[in-house]
């Protein structure tokens, strides 16, 4: 507790009373709270009520743990482990060039854009009187693929 | 074959992929986690399901566990998050706890008292907001220190003091409203153990 512990007010003490009732305050905090309690009947009464509430709650019997639960948990863990295996495989390199799936997707997008750009250039070539870019490239034995051909 | 005493060694082995080490961790901790979840949701099937989910999540996140908190409080944190999410998703009209079986005429008085008390404590706990309920259960039944509760709930110790204080005020009113106090065992005058309470006056 970072607040000065001497001359604590009731509001500050009340926040610590549950800890005192359950025996979980540090020695220093417990001493400070007890000093306050010595002169405060209201807080003493509050402490008794907290102890009584805790005693009542503790009479609730412990729930019975199903005997099969540990086995059920491990079955779930094994199942999840099996499910995780194909996911690990999916991040492995794809194809002979060792490209991951995300890189392969990015490459496909770049090629598609390049294809559209070349298509536009070819269209302009056909419209004019000069040989098109396609015809000129064909003269060098280069064939241009459209999007579908990629 | 694994032969280990502390969680740390088991955790290290499980982090390296040793499933039998994780199995041992499950056997050590599944009981308290189940009881904690049962007390916060008051439903056996849900508690079972959330206990399994907590450990599956722990297995999946084990590589990220750095050991700043203990494995136990880390597990409680996973379970608390699951539980608070689940409870806050419930619709107001949803029944919270499972129905208790009807009482039998030949039921021994002590068994009947215990059953009624448990039901009423359950009703009182359900009246609390999910975070207060979790903090209270960790404090009263799991006997955690405020620092451990803070770790298990991902809060500061100071905010746990305040949360627990509100929970204790809330549970007092809820216990009164549920009529639980009248079923409490109180010490008898003299050395006769406990005073006999009367159940006849309570509706069953």
pLDDT tens for residues A109-133?
777 777 777 766 665 544 444 555 5
Task: Identify the closest residue of chain B to A84 by CA–CA distance.
Answer: B60
Using pLDDT thresholds of 50, 70 and 90, give the confidence band for residue A96: very low
Chain A contact probe: residue of B146, B157, B195 with most A CBs at under 10 A: B146
CA distance B43 to chain A (A): 10
pLDDT tens for residues B165-188?
999 999 999 999 888 887 776 654
CA distance B89 to chain A (A): 24
Q: Which of B6-20, B113-127, B134-148, B173-187 comes out lowest in average pLDDT?
A: B173-187
Is B27 near chain A, with CB under 8 Å? yes
Q: Residues of B with CB below 8 A from A71's CB?
A: none
Using pLDDT thresholds of 50, 70 and 90, give the confidence band for residue B5: low
pLDDT score recorded for residue B49 = 96
User: Which of residues A2 and B31 earns the better pLDDT score?
Assistant: B31
Among candidates B44, B141, B175 on the partner chain, residue whose Cβ is nearest the Cβ of A56: B175
User: Which of residues A139 and B123 earns the better pLDDT score?
Assistant: B123
Q: Is B117 exposed, middle or buried (0-12, 13-18, 19+ CB in 10 A)?
A: buried
- The H or E element that residue A134 is part of is helix A133-139
Concatenate the DSSP letters of all residues of chain B into one string.
----SSHHHHHHHHHTT-HHHHHHHHHHHHHHHHHHHHHHH--HHHHHHHHHHHHHHHHHHGGG--SSS-HHHHHHHHHHHHHHHHHHHS-TTS--SPPPPPP-TT--HHHHHHHHHHHHHHHHHHTS-HHHHHHHHHHHTS---HHHHHHHHT--HHHHHHHHHHHHHHHHHHHHHHT-GGG---BPSSSSSBPPP--TTS--
Q: What is the number of other CB atoms lying within 10 angstroms of the CB of residue A50?
A: 22
Give me the total of CB pairs closer than 8 Å, taking one residue from chain A and one from chain B. Answer: 106
User: Which of residues A122 and B71 earns the better pLDDT score?
Assistant: B71
pLDDT score recorded for residue B3 = 47
Backbone angles phi, psi at A94, to 5 degrees: -110, 130
Using pLDDT thresholds of 50, 70 and 90, give the confidence band for residue B203: very low
Concatenate the DSSP letters of all residues of B29-62 into one string.
HHHHHHHHHHHHH--HHHHHHHHHHHHHHHHHHG
User: Which of residues A88 and A65 earns the better pLDDT score?
Assistant: A65
Exposure b/e, B140-153, CB count within 10 A at least 16 = b? bbbebbbebbbbbb
Among candidates B39, B146, B175 on the partner chain, residue whose Cβ is nearest the Cβ of A19: B146
């Amino acid at each position: 507790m970072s607040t000065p512990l001497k001359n604590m007010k009731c509001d500050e003490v009340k926040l610590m009373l549950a800890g005192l009732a359950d025996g979980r305050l540090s020695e220093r905090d417990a001493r400070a709270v007890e000093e306050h309690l010595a002169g405060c009947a209201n807080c003493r009464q509050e402490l008794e009520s907290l102890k009584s509430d805790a005693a009542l709650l503790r009479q609730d019997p412990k729930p019975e743990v199903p005997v099969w639960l540990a086995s059920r948990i491990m079955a779930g863990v094994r199942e999840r482990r099996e499910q995780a295996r194909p996911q690990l495989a999916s991040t492995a390199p794809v194809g002979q060039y060792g490209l991951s799936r995300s890189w392969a997707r990015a490459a496909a997008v770049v090629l598609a854009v390049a294809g559209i750009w070349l298509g536009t250039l070819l269209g302009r070539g056909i419209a004019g009187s000069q040989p098109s870019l396609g015809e000129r490239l064909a003269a060098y034995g280069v064939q241009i693929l459209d999007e579908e051909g990629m | 074959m694994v032969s280990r005493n502390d969680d740390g060694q088991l955790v290290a082995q499980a982090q390296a992929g040793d499933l039998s080490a994780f199995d041992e961790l499950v056997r050590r901790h599944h009981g308290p986690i189940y009881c904690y979840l049962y007390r916060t949701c008051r439903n056996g099937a849900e508690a079972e399901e959330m206990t399994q989910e907590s450990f599956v999540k722990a297995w999946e996140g084990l590589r990220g566990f750095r050991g700043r908190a203990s494995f136990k409080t880390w597990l409680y944190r996973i379970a608390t998050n699951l539980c608070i999410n689940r409870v806050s998703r419930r619709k107001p009209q949803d029944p919270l706890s499972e129905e208790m079986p009807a009482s039998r005429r030949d039921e021994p008085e002590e068994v009947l008292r215990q059953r009624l008390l448990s039901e009423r404590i359950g009703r009182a706990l359900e009246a609390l907001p999910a975070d207060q309920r979790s903090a209270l259960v960790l404090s009263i039944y799991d006997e955690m220190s405020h620092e451990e509760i803070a770790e298990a709930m991902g809060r500061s110790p100071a905010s746990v003091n305040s949360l627990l204080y509100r929970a204790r005020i809330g549970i007092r009113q809820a216990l009164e409203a549920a009529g639980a106090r009248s079923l409490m065992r109180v010490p008898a005058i003299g050395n006769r153990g406990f005073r006999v309470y009367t159940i006849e006056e309570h509706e069953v």
